[in-house]
Structures are given as C-alpha cells and as structure tokens.
Amino acid sequence: MSAIVGIEGGWTPAVFLNPLSAGTAQFKETETAFNDWRRGKDVPAVPVVTGWNTITPQMAEALLMRDTLNRQKIFSRIQGYSLAIKTGQWKKTGQTVTVGCSGRLLDGAHRLWSIYLTGIPAEIYCIIDIDDISEPHMFAYIDNGAPRSGGDALFTAGNNGLSKRVAKVIAEFAYPIEQNFMTMEGIVSGAPLAHLSPAGVLAYSEQHPTLSDVSHLVQRSYKPMLKLIGNSGATYLAWQIVEEHGYDVLHQFVGLLLSAEQVRALPDKHPVKALHAVIELHQKGQLSGKDTAAGLARRKMILTPVQLLAYAITAFNMTMQRQMIPGKVLELSMQGFPTIIEAADLEPEDEAAD
C-alpha cells in the first residue's frame, strides 16, 4: 500500500492506498481494514452542512464511518473520481453526499473514498436531513451517477448473498409473468415495467419473502438445477413450486429431475425425460462451433432463458397431472406463457388412480 494522504493538524488517516495504482483486491483489503478500525469507535459529529462543502480527507473519513448500509463498492468508479480529483478535472455536478436523519451515510461513498485516498479536498453538495427513519429503505430510492440496481437495493436492505440473483428473478420472470407481460419470445415490447425501480424490486421482495429463502435453498442443495435451467429460471421455477405446492413437492420433483438413474428408468414419453432431451439438444447447440449443416441445425435448438423456463414449467405441470407427452418431443402450448399449475386444479390421488 502507498501512503499518499497528508496530515491535517496532526490527523493521520486510518488506512492508506494509492487508488491510481492499486487493484480491486487491494482496495477490498483496505476497506476491510478500515471497517475493522472503525468498529467500536465513537463516530464523529457530521462534519458537513446542507449545501456546498469543501470536504477534506479527514471529513471524508468521518463520513465513511457512517457508511453502515451503503452498497458494495465499485473500485473502478473510485479510480475514475480519484483521477478527476488528481488532474483538476473535478466538477461541481450537484451529485450529493447524503446523510439521513438517523446519521447513516446514504449516498456518496465512492466520492468520499476518492477524497480520502487521494488526500485532496473536493467541493460536493451535501444533504444531511433525509428522512430514513420513517422510510428505513431510503437508499433504494436514491439515484445518482453510480446507478443503483435492484440487487443493490436488496443488498442494502439486508438481503445479501444472492441479492443480485433474486433481483434478476423478479425483473426477468416473476413480475413480467405475474403481470401477463411474458411471451415465448420474452417480455412484451413496451410493457410498463416502471415499477421495477430499485425500490420496486425491494417492495416485491418484501411482499414475497420465500423467494429469497428458496434462492438460497437452490444454491445450497440443488446447484445442478441451475446448470440445467439457468440461474434465474431454476430459482423462479423452484420458488413457484414452493408457493403453490410446498417444499415436499419441490424436493420430490427436483430429486427426480437431477437423478440420472431415475430419469433413465422413466418411460420415453415421461415429461421429465422429454425435458432432459430438450435440454440436451440445447446444450449441444451451444457447443456447435462449426458452420456445417449439422452445426447450424444444432444451433437452431439453442433456447432462450425464457424458453428453457417454459419447457421446465410444462414438464412440471404434466408430471403433476400424471400425463405423458402426446408426441415424440415435449412441446410448448401456444396458449401463452405457462404458469405453475395450481394445487386446486389437480385431481385427488385416489380419483387419478381410478
């Protein structure tokens, strides 16, 4: 690490790093060291007022000590800001450093790290009275030059680990399917998805808490399923099965789907075996590198994530209805994008046996 920050009136920064020569791994080590250093220390008073402030490295450090809920940092963005500060290209853009009424830093960490690590003050507009007490997830509503994603909103709200995957499931499948915006070709062009702002993703996640639980379950116990159907598709499928039929049905279906021995023993017209045949053709198409007639034909079998999910849902529904495929291959209905069959639409076991 390179010590480049000066001393302000006897003050010495807690950590040192040259942002223009360091890499992401070095920054993560530095950030970890900073977080370890600040743990248990008294947090200084907010050193800025609402309005334009010349923020010094010492002030930046005091503000970063309040960064308890902000998102994971993008070091390349810190480097960009640092270069602008070092070369005199820093501009008063109006992008803010924001502190909530709770005292937490809500926005501006990337710029503060740039000031802190370069050791050069910069002028930034600050707001220190944002109401994050009555609205504890205020972070999700803030937009600035470093755009926040749905994954950022979930991470900040405490849904860490698989927050980006959960956000993708919501944006790419859950919300569009729920709103009837999904077709076999993908989301309908011009569909009103304005609700899927970071705040919208967070709200959807909080309304459907089992989505995060199932996402972790799939990652932990059914990882091969992700390779078969795709990360977002497999997670959405598992979540919908749990929502409508419960965890036992999920365990039974995925257990069958992932057991090569059980799949081999199934009749050729069983929907799960037919699903494997479709996925096998899809995977062969992905590996077809040569522009031969055979290679081009195989590439035509490459499916989109939406189509893969549609096949998987169709196979599940037919399995639950104890149906075999009517033809040689598993086919998709032309009646719109399939959804998980409801428990109420299934025949009782004794009637089905008759």
**At 183, which helix (H) or strand (E)?**
strand 182-183
> How far is the C-alpha of 146 from the C-alpha of 81, rounded, in Å?
11
SS3 322: coil
Q: What is the rounded end-to-end Cα distance, in angstroms, of the chain? A: 75
| Residue 229 structure tokens | 């159907």
- List C-alpha distances in Å: 220 to 65, 213, 226, 247: 34, 11, 11, 14
Contacts of 344 (CB under 8 A, 6+ apart): none
Best-predicted range by mean pLDDT (104-108, 124-128, 186-190, 313-317): 313-317
**Cβ contact 176:187 at 8 Å:** yes
> How far is the C-alpha of 183 from the C-alpha of 120, rounded, in Å?
53
pLDDT per residue over 12-63, tens digit each? 999 999 998 888 899 999 999 999 999 989 999 999 999 999 999 999 999 9
- Whether 281 shows a pLDDT value over 80: the answer reads yes
pLDDT of residue 87: 82
**At 187, which helix (H) or strand (E)?**
strand 186-187
The reported pTM is: 0.58
Q: What single-letter amino acid sits at 258?
A: L
pLDDT per residue over 61-111, tens digit each? 999 999 986 567 888 888 888 888 988 878 887 678 999 888 889 889 999
Higher-confidence residue: 354 or 120? 120
339 DSSP 8-state letter: -
Confidence of residue 5 (pLDDT cuts 50, 70, 90): very low
How many CB atoms within 10 Å of residue 211? Answer: 24
User: Which of 68-77, 137-146, 163-172, 343-352 has the least mean pLDDT?
Assistant: 137-146
- Whether 328 shows a pLDDT value over 60: the answer reads yes
Domain boundaries, the chain: 24-148, 209-353
- Whether 11 shows a pLDDT value over 50: the answer reads yes
- Whether 3 shows a pLDDT value over 90: the answer reads no
